Amino acid sequence: MNMKKLFLIAVTATFLVSFAYSQEASQTASSFLQLLREQKFGMAEKMVAESAKKYLNEASLKDFWLQMESRYGALRKFGAPEKQKSIKNSIFLVKFYFENDSLNCRLVVDEQNLISAMVFVPFVCNYAFKIPEYADTTKFYEIETTFGVPGWELPAKLTIPKGTKQYPAVILVHGSGPNDMDETIGGHKVFRDIAYGLSSNGVVVMRYEKRTREYPGKITPVYDKLTIWEEAMEDAIAAVAFLQENDYVDPTKIYVLGHSLGGHIAPRIAQAFTGVSGIIIMNGNARPLHKIVIEQYEYIFNLDGKINEYEAKELAKIRRQVEMIDKGEFTDSTARDSLLLMLPAKYWKDLSKYDPVETAKKLQIPILILAAENDYQILPLEFDIWKRALQNNKNVSFKMFKNLNHLMVHSPKKSKPSDYEKEGNVSEEVIKEILNWIKKN
């Protein structure tokens, strides 16, 4: 037999062995995922490599799977494993279709045909983020700048109406979490829409990166000392001071618009700095933050009409944590992992003492309170509390919008987390209400 034929036989044999392993690994991946779907976690563990059993054992698989179903709904189906490039192991990408969302699963099968790793990641969504129809970009221009507390300077954008006079200005203050300057949430850019809508009609708008987003590495070592002052208030006040120094801004008409948590603390920002001419509370809670967290979790966990084992445990834990804050049963040294939302003790000690309604009552500046009927995060109950307490204050105006959600985007019924993944713009109704209020004041 000549050398050429021997070489071809060897290559063919290697290909057949590799192909057979690939097919077997693919079947292993499918079988493992099917066991998870059937909640046969003990049997699934038997398919896991010894090195991975610390993370992929029966108990952790069960807890993880219940969390997935809690967040994304029941699994409808999963696709065939798609082989990915890999030198040593077989890596497969599997598309999972849950009731409320879809995810990619990366599953690794080692040379012993055992599961050695599993990671779920969201589908990559190429959102268009269309500019809203009510925005006229020929009427304003946009500039980038930096401002802020020394050592914590932040990138910002200003949308400025074209012209030479001084304009009223609005500063946008984010909700919870490390938000970007557009307050990008799923398929929405809430702050960009507001900025473009207002600046199309003669209002300067300033939006900026949140400190916790811009400085994650710098925040981490001092996180246990974090309060709402460092997270949001200090930078909002610095933004007001920054605009006071600009020729195109009327310094007597600088308003703070706070969304969600930003709305909750807007009265406190105005109380702390006299440069604030008025505040807009957009879907901000009147009650303490820890009081509404439990309601949000109960709603989300009940979306499928049942509470699973993981959800029941989570709700029990959250109720205990809320009670700890209510009763003050924690100290500055209490570990974050035992506190609600894993926020530090100093954060909760500070925020739980703050009463936004009583603070707003003492303000003499104009206040506009906006709410959305189909908001699941900040329920209409919060708007009712604001209104009952402040309706006799002549400086306060109120507006409840029908068919809008927490992002002030169209929602024909009470919204849910997965709605944020759909594209949309802030309603023009909201822009008009803010503009009318500014003109009135």
For the chain, give me the number of helices (H) and strands (E)? 15, 15
Give the residue, 95 or 9, on which the prediction is more confident: 95
* pLDDT (tens digit per residue) in 233-265: 999 999 999 999 999 999 999 999 999 999 999
At the topology level, CATH places domain 140-288+354-440 in Rossmann fold (3.40.50)
The reply to whether domains 3-122 and 140-288+354-440 share a CATH topology is no
**What residue spans define the domains of the chain?**
3-122, 140-288+354-440
33: three-class secondary structure by DSSP:
helix
21: three-class secondary structure by DSSP:
helix
d(C-alpha 108, C-alpha 106), whole Å: 7
Residue type, 249: V
* pLDDT (tens digit per residue) in 361-392: 999 999 999 999 999 999 999 999 999 999 99
Q: Assess contact for 142 and 157: CB atoms under 8 A.
A: yes
Stated pTM of the model: 0.85
Q: Yes or no: is domain 3-122 CATH 3.10.450.590?
A: yes
Confidence of residue 87 (pLDDT cuts 50, 70, 90): low
Q: φ, ψ for residue 339 (rounded to 5)?
A: -105, 155
Q: Assess contact for 312 and 359: CB atoms under 8 A.
A: no
Half-sphere exposure of 298 (CA within 13 A, CB side): 9
Q: CB atoms < 10 A from the CB of 147, how many?
A: 18
* pLDDT (tens digit per residue) in 186-225: 999 999 999 999 999 999 999 999 999 999 889 988 999 9
d(C-alpha 194, C-alpha 187), whole Å: 15
